[in-house]
Amino acid sequence: MQPRQIILLIILLASVMAIADAIGISPSSKAFPFEPGKEVQITFTAVNNIDSIQVFEIYAKGDLADYVRFEQTRLVMRAMENKPFVMHLTMPNSLEPGTHNTYIGVVQASSQGTGQLNAKSGVESIISVDVPTPGKYLTAELSAEPQNAGEPVKFELKVQSKGTEKINQVSGVINIFDGPSKIGFVDTNTEPLESMQKTTLRGEWTATQAGQLIAVADVFYDGRSTTAATKFKVGAMLLRILDIKFGEITAGTIGKISVSIENEWNQPIDGAYSEFFASKNGEEVGRAVGKPFKITAQGVYTDDIYWDTAGLEPGVYNGRIVLHYLDKTTEQAFKIGLAGTLKFGNAVYIAIIALLVSFFILAVFYSRQKKK
């Protein structure tokens, strides 16, 4: 690929991203149970967020694209206009068990020229047709709300029948792990489940410790089983120092120290502030205090502290950051260095002047030699 083509490709990719944000389609998804020969009609709405008249093409792709028919395949839309279009899907007489996805898209029309790079971008809606599996079969999805230590974690186990037969009883046992160690479990409620229907099983577990935990649900239904898993976070009323960064600081100047801080609590913390201490040989030689700040729930904040090093000599110092928040503190020690400035004594200046004079004399000498 030629350099010119590479540049054009980069421009086109940037245009694709902009266009994707400027085109909309609704609804974004629809799901239907499989019924042989049934016709499904859906009215979509295309959205032109571009500030000019645009021509859009409508298309279908995916498992059942050959069974899709549109009442129109092109839309001419004014700036910021919404316009409906209708799709007809006629289901075939038979399909393999499982979920069959078809994508209905709206794309900006473009022409292809010989030797030209071109790109089209658009948005798509997903049409799902679920074909039941003979007998009893279900899928499960587990989720958990993050909480603080000592508070109940609420689990939701969403189960959906994908089989042709009714499930008399479905229930779950949710096991909680900290790494490889099991630290707790909870039983969910029990429900019946009709063919191709959904329900949500629930359970609560009181978190005893903070950290990133894993929940694994064993789902039981009429002598069969499946599993689902999720990660969740149990927070603590804690600010944690993630990183401490600083550039080169010259002794006698004001240096910036950036502290990256994470809030592990699921509530914002206001009025926190950072304090910096510098010491050498066991003696405190410097201190600086940052401005009070607010950090969002489970968010990250960078606090800048400015250290005045006036009167300090170059060298390595012991640094310490102390975070103050609520009635707690968190601290971290580190090493920080001060660079020296380049200084010349009188002897060095004399040597430099003598060297410059010597160069001048040599230049004059060679110049006169050339004239002769």
Overall average pLDDT of the 164-187 stretch: 96
Contacts of 305 (CB under 8 A, 6+ apart): 256, 257, 258, 259, 274, 276, 288, 289, 290, 321
Number of domains composing the chain? 3
What mean pLDDT is predicted for residues 215-236? 95
User: Looking at residue 38, which CATH number applies to its domain?
Assistant: 2.60.40.10
Does 46 lie in the same domain as 148?
Answer: no
pLDDT given at position 9? 45
Co-location of 229 and 298 in the same domain: no
**Is residue 370 a part of any domain in this protein?**
no
The neighbour count for residue 216, using CB atoms within 10 Å, is 16
Amino acid at 208: T
Residue 352 lies in a domain: no
How distant, in Å, are the alpha carbons of 29, 35, 71, 102, 146 from that of 44?
10, 22, 12, 14, 36
Query: What is the predicted pLDDT for the residue at 351?
Result: 65
Looking at the structure, tell me whether residues 73 and 179 fall in a common domain.
no
Answer whether residue 214 shows pLDDT above 90. yes
Least confident span in 118-127, 194-203, 266-275, 286-295 = 118-127
Please tell me the distance from the alpha carbon of residue 117 to that of residue 109, in angstroms, as a whole number.
Answer: 15
Torsional class of 364: left (φ above 0), alpha (ψ -120 to 50), beta (otherwise):
alpha
Residue 142 inside a domain? The answer is yes
pLDDT at 28 over 80: yes
Residues 206 and 255 placed together within one structural domain of the fold: no
Residue 368 belongs to some domain of the structure: no
The answer to whether residue 28 is domain-embedded is yes
What residues make up the domain containing 125?
A: 3-131
**Domain boundary, last residue among 212, 235, 258:** 235
Using CA atoms, how far apart are residues 57 and 74, in angstroms rounded to an integer?
A: 5
pLDDT, residue 208, reads: 82
Q: Are residues 122 and 179 in the same domain?
A: no
230 and 253 co-located in one domain: no
Q: Are 31 and 130 in contact (CB under 8 A)?
A: yes
Can you tell me which residue has the tokens 């001419």? 76
122-144: b (≥16 Cβ within 10 Å) or e: bbbbebbbbbbbeebbbebebeb
> 185 to each of 159, 188, 198, 214, how far by Cα in Å?
19, 10, 24, 11
Radius of gyration of the chain, Cα coordinates, nearest whole angstrom: 35
Among 336, 340, 339, which residue's Cα sits nearest to residue 318?
Answer: 336
Residue 242's identity, in one-letter code, is L
Q: Is residue 292 part of a domain?
A: yes
Q: Is 349 left (phi over 0), alpha (psi -120 to 50) or beta?
A: alpha
Worst-scoring range by mean pLDDT, 89-98, 159-168, 343-352? 343-352
Q: Report if residue 35 sits inside a domain.
A: yes
How far apart are alpha carbons 264 and 236 in whole angstroms? 6
CA dihedral 243, 207, 328, 279 (to 10 degrees): -30
Confidence of residue 283 (pLDDT cuts 50, 70, 90): very high
Residue where a domain terminates, one of 235, 265, 292: 235
Whether 165 maps to a domain, the answer reads yes
Mean residue pLDDT across the chain: 88
Q: Which residue has the tokens 């390595």?
A: 316
Predicted pLDDT at 112: 46
The answer to whether the beta carbons of residues 203 and 240 sit under 8 Å apart is no
> Which of 212, 215, 308, 307 is closest to 262 using CA atoms?
212
φ and ψ of 18, to 5 deg: -65, -40
pLDDT above 60 (res 111): no
The one-letter amino acid code at 347 reads A
Sorting pLDDT into bands at 50, 70 and 90, what band is 371? Answer: low
Do residues 111 and 13 share a domain? Answer: yes
Centre a 10 Å sphere on the Cβ of residue 118 and count the other Cβ atoms it contains.
Answer: 10
Question: Could you tell me the CA-to-CA distances from 228 to 126, 144, 190, 206 in Å, in that order?
Answer: 24, 12, 16, 20
Residues 10, 127 within the same domain: yes
- Output phi, psi for 65, to 5 deg: -60, -35
On whether both 302 and 246 belong to a single domain, the answer is yes
Residues 18 and 62 both lie in one domain: yes
Together in a domain, 150 and 43: no
Of residues 241 and 147, which shows the higher confidence score? 241
* Cβ–Cβ < 8 Å for 261, 242: yes
* Cβ atoms of residues 198 and 158 within 8 Å: yes
Domain boundary among 200, 235, 270: 235
| Nearest Cα to Cα of residue 106 among 67, 72, 151, 146 | 72
Looking at the predicted structure, is the pLDDT value of residue 6 above 50?
no
Closest C-alpha among 240, 254, 250, 255 to residue 321: 240
124 and 7 fall within a common domain: yes
